[in-house]
Amino acid sequence: MKWIGKAIIVVILLCSLVMPAQAAIRGKGGKRIKVAAEPILDNILKGFEFDDYYTYARDFHPSLKVLGSKTKFFKISRYIQRSLGRCLEKEYLGSLTRGDVIVVLWKGVFDKTKNDVLIKVELSKKSRRYLVTGLWLQ
């Protein structure tokens, strides 16, 4: 029985040595994702701020452009301007990979709300370029 307790301790110690190495590898990929996703989010936020559909949708996947018409964009943009306002700052929280889709998360601070806003941008890679396939501000 004593050897089982020792074996469990050894397994826990080995896992604690391996996990930081795996986290470092994921962290590097996360930095690459952040570098690719940051200008995409900047375009989206700039589009909302200046009511500019073309800047907003510049990096959208064609299927998302079909779903999100210019008319819908202007309604959503004005709603965001009224309720959230302008994005003052954003903090990269990380990314999640689900098959071919990467969900990138930021915490946003906007000038018309005291609450933090979770910004989720869903990206898919197409022809060596990341394109937006989903967008949420919560």
What's the rounded Cα separation, in Å, for the pair 45 and 106? 12
* R_g (Cα) of the chain, nearest Å: 20
CB 136 within 8 A of CB 120: yes
pLDDT of residue 115: 95
pLDDT at 14 over 80: no
Is the pTM here over 0.85, yes or no?
no
Residues with Cβ within 8 Å of 108's Cβ and at least 6 positions away in sequence, in order, are: 87, 89, 90, 91, 116, 117, 118, 119, 137
When the pLDDT of each residue in the chain is averaged and rounded to a whole number, the result is 81
CB 122 within 8 A of CB 103: yes
What's the CATH code, domain 2-137?
3.10.450.590
pLDDT of residue 67: 65
What's the rounded Cα separation, in Å, for the pair 57 and 112? 24
Q: Vertex 8, ends 7 and 14: CA angle to 5°?
A: 90
What's the rounded Cα separation, in Å, for the pair 90 and 121? 13
19-55 pLDDT, tens per residue?
333 332 234 457 889 999 999 999 999 999 999 999 9
Q: Is the dihedral of CA 85, 86, 89, 94 positive or negative?
A: positive
62-119 pLDDT, tens per residue?
888 766 678 888 999 999 999 999 999 999 999 999 899 999 999 999 999 999 999 9
- For tokens 């299927």, name the residue: 63
pLDDT of residue 31: 85
pLDDT of residue 28: 41
